[in-house]
């Protein structure tokens, strides 16, 4: 059974039909990178996977449970899905440690000492064990993003969603975050990652999904989709991201 299954997913905002029938699955332990032009629906797709957006048609199954079913226990389903956003969304008034314990104690009802231990282990995993008492504004963007990853991991997610986790970072901070993500992938975490980092997708993804205009245009192993794309839309997109100075002939 796939960990995530998406069947004929549609989502509109007013008259803007953003997702136009998405079908795909993520197997346990698989790393899937979603690429595509701005506005193609990548974030909306990710947000439908933990029901931050409610699709108007189609199904999303996580571990076999239909989270689009109104009877689904949404908080329990969401607790199994970690999400890391472009803007780190840390709680500014809480220390790094408290950022990583608050949902553990409130949602998972762990006691403070167990939650603290788990948070410290995950902060160690992202290379920030020396920052447990710092506050988010005292950290660099890359460090804040790694706290956000440790916070998500502290909930023992079955699946991690990343929405352009490095695109708000200064270039010299991108590497540290990608290193943490690479390690997570090697540890066997199931990951669905929207990214513009083609080198990362090539190296780490088991599968790359190219979206355009609210549909999946092409998907497959990175060597095929990035290395030898079959669709013209994919080729055009890749030319643009791989060589932003390239000018299309008119």
Ligand X SMILES: Nc1ncnc2c1ncn2[C@@H]1O[C@H](COP(=O)(O)OP(=O)(O)OP(=O)(O)O)[C@@H](O)[C@H]1O
Residue 163 CB, shortest distance to ligand X, in Å, is: 7
**What's phi and psi for 244, nearest 5 deg?**
-60, -15
Helix axes 112-125, 141-153, angle to 10 degrees: 130
190 contacts which partner out of ligand X, Mg ion, none, CB within 5 to 8 A by kind? Answer: none
Rounded Cα gap, residues 250 and 245, in angstroms: 15
36 or 157: CB nearest ligand X: 36
Q: What is the CA radius of gyration of the chain?
A: 18
State which H helix or E strand residue 74 sits in. helix 74-79
Residue 43 as a binder of Mg ion (CB under 5 A): the answer is: yes
| Residues facing 50 on adjacent strands | none
Residue 166 as a binder of Mg ion (CB under 5 A): the answer is: no
163 or 176: CB nearest ligand X: 163
β-strands 207-212, 57-62 pairing: unpaired
Residue 161 CB, shortest distance to Mg ion, in Å, is: 12
41 contacts which partner out of ligand X, Mg ion, none, CB within 5 to 8 A by kind? Answer: ligand X
Residue 136 as a binder of ligand X (CB under 6 A): the answer is: no
Residue 40 as a binder of Mg ion (CB under 5 A): the answer is: no
Name the residue among 229, 185, 173, 170 with its Cα closest to residue 35. Answer: 229
Assign 203 to helix, strand or coil. Answer: helix
Residue 234 as a binder of ligand X (CB under 6 A): the answer is: no
Residue 38 as a binder of ligand X (CB under 6 A): the answer is: yes
- Tell which one of 9, 30, 33, 44 touches ligand X (CB under 6 A): 44
Range in contact with ligand X (rule: CB under 6 A) among 41-49, 87-95, 172-180, 184-192: 41-49
Rounded Cα gap, residues 18 and 31, in angstroms: 24
Give how far the C-alpha of residue 250 lies from the chain's centroid of Cα atoms, to the nearest Å: 36
Range in contact with Mg ion (rule: CB under 5 A) among 39-47, 63-71, 123-131, 206-214: 39-47
17 or 182: CB nearest ligand X: 17
Rounded Cα gap, residues 238 and 216, in angstroms: 15
163 or 218: CB nearest Mg ion: 163
Residue 39 as a binder of ligand X (CB under 6 A): the answer is: yes
Total of residues contacting ligand X (CB under 6 A) = 11
Rounded Cα gap, residues 157 and 77, in angstroms: 10
> Contact 23/4 with Cβ under 8 angstroms?
no
- Tell which one of 1, 13, 71, 232 touches ligand X (CB under 6 A): 13
Interacting residues with Mg ion (CB under 5 A): 43
- Which residues of this chain interact with ligand X, rule CB under 6 A? 13, 16, 18, 36, 38-44
């Amino acid at each position: 059974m796939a960990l995530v299954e998406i069947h004929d997913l549609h989502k509109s905002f007013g008259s803007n039909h953003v997702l136009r029938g998405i079908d795909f699955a993520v197997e346990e332990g698989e790393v899937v990178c979603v690429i595509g032009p701005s506005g193609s629906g990548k974030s909306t797709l990710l947000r439908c996977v933990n029901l931050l957006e409610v699709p108007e048609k189609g199904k999303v199954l996580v571990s076999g449970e239909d989270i689009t079913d109104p009877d689904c226990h949404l908080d329990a389903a969401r607790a199994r899905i970690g999400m890391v956003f472009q803007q780190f969304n840390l709680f500014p008034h809480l220390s790094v440690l408290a950022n990583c314990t608050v949902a553990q104690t409130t949602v998972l009802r762990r006691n403070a000492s167990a939650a603290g231990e788990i948070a410290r282990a995950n902060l160690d995993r992202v290379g920030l064990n020396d920052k447990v008492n710092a506050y988010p504004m005292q950290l660099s963007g890359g460090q804040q993003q790694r706290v956000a990853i440790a916070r998500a991991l502290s909930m023992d997610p079955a699946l991690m969603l990343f929405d352009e986790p490095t695109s708000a970072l200064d270039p010299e901070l991108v590497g540290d975050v990608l290193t943490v993500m690479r390690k997570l992938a090697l540890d066997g975490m199931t990951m669905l990652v929207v990214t513009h980092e083609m080198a990362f997708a090539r190296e780490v993804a088991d599968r790359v999904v190219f979206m355009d205009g609210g549909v999946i245009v092409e998907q497959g192993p990175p060597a095929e989709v990035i290395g030898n794309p079959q669709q013209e839309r994919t080729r055009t997109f890749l030319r643009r991201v791989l060589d932003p100075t390239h000018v299309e002939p008119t």
